[in-house]
Amino acid sequence: MSESCIFCRIIRGELPSTMLYQDQQAVAFKDIAPIAPVHILIVPRQHLESAAETTAENALLIGHLIRVAAHVAREQGIAESGYRLVTNIGKDGGQEVFHLHWHLLGGRQMRGLG
C-alpha cells in the first residue's frame, strides 16, 4: 500500500472511479482518459511498481490478473471481437502510474504497437 499512489487511493475508495469488478486480489475500473470504446484498468490490490518489479511470489497473482481481464472482457461483450492487454513499464514504456496494471483495450480495431 502506498499513501499517495493514485491507484491505491482508488482501491481504498478515497478517489472516485467507475468500478466494474472487485475480488480479494484485484479490481477493474474504467480508465479516466479512454483511448478505445472499452478501456479498463486491471489492477492488483497489492502495490507493485510494475511487471518488472514482481517476484516468484507474485506469479499466481499475475496469472489471476490475466484471468480477471478475460472475465471483464466477456462481461463487456468484446471477448468474440478480441482485445488487447498492455502493461507499460518505465519511461520509454509510457508508464505514468507506478502501480502495476493492465490496460484492457477493445471495441475497435487495434493497430500498431506504438
| Residue ranges in contact with ligand 5GP by CB under 6 A | 6, 15, 17, 29-33, 88, 94-97
Q: Least distance in Å: CB of 93 to ligand 5GP? A: 8
Q: Please report, as a single letter, which amino acid is at residue 80.
A: E
- Give, in degrees to the nearest 5, the angle at Cα 67 between 32 and 93: 50
Cell of 102: 493492465
Work out how close the CB of 5 gets to ligand 5GP at its nearest, in angstroms, rounded to a whole number.
11
Task: Give the C-alpha separation, 77 to 72, whole Å.
Answer: 9
CB-nearer residue toward Zn ion: 30 or 47: 47
Which positions are annotated as active-site residues?
A: 101
